[in-house]
């Protein structure tokens, strides 16, 4: 199979954007390119064109021009496009998996098992939900109509590049919207492959458009543009604030999935042999580069030594190394700035005087090159410490002791974030009660299977709005009430 980089190079896509059903060279004044670096080797592997306001204007004009017709298509027609998208993504799973590995360091086994298949699930769910969605509902004599909101600017991150693209594009298209996608300039290869997929799936010109660029230029242009009706961003809380500020003068809808510092409450009756190793795995999923990663493990103070033993054993089984090796479970951190941020925060933890259970600063001993971080666990962490409050976005877990369940709930909620949470315990009534008191958009009880229909989003500074499932599609719909619609008299 041709490598994704060679495929994109030979097709000429690296220097182009996908606008109005065609691959176009930038028309703006930006002459610099985004340099894509392989995090396993620290070597540049591609130069990707960057756009500016002119390129954004062109893409938005295409999306605006396509909206009238696309918004009126029957749901079955939109579902058929989603069906073709889903089939093509599964057919090209290996191509996308390899792209993710070279652009952001995902272990190839994880890319094949999670990053690509879960992205495909977002398309399938959007297709299936569209088939039965009541776009017109009856309330007495009033018709409640749900209509596509319009042109949507979609801003996606570097940590789950493909997954977040499909989580936004699929429901937007299902709703009848047209879109302009700005992927992260740090991991744009999978987005270019996705644009090719959309073209091959027969997406009508202008319905899907892609412009690569930076947040301060292309992201800001999308957010402030008067012809964009909605912005959906997944990224840092800082980036979300900037997008909301840029969008405010045009009073467009802004959906934000932002930062997190998720708690994992291990209740006193939990089976530590299961709860702790699975908690470590959840915290270090995707190298901890997940906004909902449960990186605060709250444990009964009387059992903290047992927890440390189980946690260290679980972390020691992780294999950090070459992401293309089948034996590797965790590859490198996605980029240098994030690698350096993680190293800084591990240093902060050491300076704060907490107990280092495993890991620490630097690369694993057998690795000399690449943005590889050591899976690190701190214990006896106080809730007010920086490592317990700030999002680190890496393989760093803080074990925090508590004395009562009420105290555990208070610690769990003692954060500016509220994206995800976990609760472990054998008494389900107690676990459910605790879950009901946690301020977060999702709570996972005893490590359930992932549910692509479960709405995902945040409380507090973790954002607003929801993605996934029915609620994810409804973000792209406006509500219209037509009174007297069902009156019998003229």
Cα three-residue angle 241-227-249, rounded to 5 degrees:
40
Report in angstroms the alpha-carbon separations of 282 from 50, 287, 290, 377, 451.
Answer: 35, 10, 10, 13, 15
Residue 283 main-chain phi, psi, to 5 deg: -65, -35
Residue 323 C-beta-side C-alpha neighbours within 13 Å: 30
**Residue 291 catalytic?**
yes
Sign of CA dihedral 451, 455, 457, 460: negative
Instruction: Tell me how many degrees the CA angle 228-36-285 measures, rounded to the nearest 5.
Output: 85
| Residue 448 DSSP one-character state | P
Q: Are strands 142-148 and 136-139 parallel, antiparallel or unpaired?
A: antiparallel
Instruction: Identify the active-site residue in 291, 391, 467, 474.
Output: 291
Would residue 102 show up in a list of annotated catalytic residues for this protein?
no
- Packing angle between helix 93-104 and helix 116-132, nearest 10 degrees? 120
Q: Report whether 212 contacts 218 (CB < 8 A).
A: yes
Which token pair is 455? 């709405």
Closest CA to 287 of 416, 158, 457: 158
Question: Which residue is catalytic, options 257, 308, 467, 474?
Answer: 257
Report angle CA 89, 95, 96 to the nearest 5 degrees.
60
Q: Which residues are catalytic?
A: 257, 291
């Amino acid at each position: 199979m041709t490598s994704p980089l060679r495929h994109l190079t030979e097709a000429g896509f690296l220097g182009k954007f996908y606008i109005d059903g065609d691959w176009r060279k930038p028309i703006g004044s930006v002459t610099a390119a985004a340099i894509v670096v392989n995090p396993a080797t620290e070597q540049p592997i591609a130069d990707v064109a960057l756009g500016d306001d002119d390129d954004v204007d062109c893409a938005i004009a295409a999306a605006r021009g396509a909206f009238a017709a696309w918004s009126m298509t029957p749901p079955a027609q939109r579902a058929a496009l989603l069906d073709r998208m889903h089939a093509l993504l599964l057919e090209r799973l290996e191509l996308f998996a390899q792209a993710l590995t070279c652009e952001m360091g995902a272990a190839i086994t994880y890319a094949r098992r999670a990053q690509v298949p879960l992205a495909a699930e977002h398309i399938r769910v959007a297709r299936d939900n569209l088939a039965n969605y009541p776009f017109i509902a009856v309330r007495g004599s009033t018709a409640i109509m749900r209509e596509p909101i319009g042109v949507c600017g979609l801003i996606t991150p570097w940590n789950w590049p493909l997954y977040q693209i499909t989580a936004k594009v699929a429901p937007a298209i299902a709703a009848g919207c047209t879109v302009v996608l700005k992927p992260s300039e740090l991991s744009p290869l999978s987005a270019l492959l996705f644009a090719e997929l959309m073209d091959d799936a027969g997406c009508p010109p202008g319905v899907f458009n892609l412009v690569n660029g930076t947040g301060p230029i292309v992201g800001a242009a999308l957010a402030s543009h008067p012809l964009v009706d909605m912005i959906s961003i997944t990224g840092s809380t800082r980036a979300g604030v900037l997008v909301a500020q840029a969008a405010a003068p045009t009073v467009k809808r802004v959906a934000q999935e932002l930062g997190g510092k998720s708690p994992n409450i291990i209740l006193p009756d939990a089976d530590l042999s299961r709860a702790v190793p699975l908690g470590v795995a959840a915290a270090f999923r995707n190298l901890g580069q997940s906004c909902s990663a449960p990186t605060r493990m709250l444990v009964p103070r009387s059992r903290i030594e047992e927890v440390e033993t189980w946690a260290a054993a679980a972390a020691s089984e992780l294999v950090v190394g070459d992401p293309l090796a089948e034996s590797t479970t965790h590859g490198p951190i996605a980029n240098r700035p994030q690698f350096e941020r993680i190293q800084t925060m591990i240093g902060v933890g050491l300076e704060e005087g907490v107990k280092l259970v495993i890991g620490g600063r630097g690369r694993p001993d057998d690795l000399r090159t690449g943005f590889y971080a050591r899976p690190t666990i701190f214990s006896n962490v106080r809730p007010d410490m920086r490592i317990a409050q700030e999002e680190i976005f890496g393989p760093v877990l803080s074990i925090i002791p508590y004395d009562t369940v009420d105290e555990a709930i208070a610690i769990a909620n003692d954060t500016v974030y509220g994206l995800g949470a976990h609760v472990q315990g054998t008494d389900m009534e107690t676990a459910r009660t605790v879950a009901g008191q946690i301020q977060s958009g999702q709570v996972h009880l005893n490590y359930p299977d992932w549910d692509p229909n479960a709405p995902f989003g945040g409380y507090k500074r973790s954002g607003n709005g929801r993605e996934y499932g029915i609620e994810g599609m409804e973000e792209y719909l406006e509500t219209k009430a037509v009174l007297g619609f069902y009156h019998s008299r003229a």
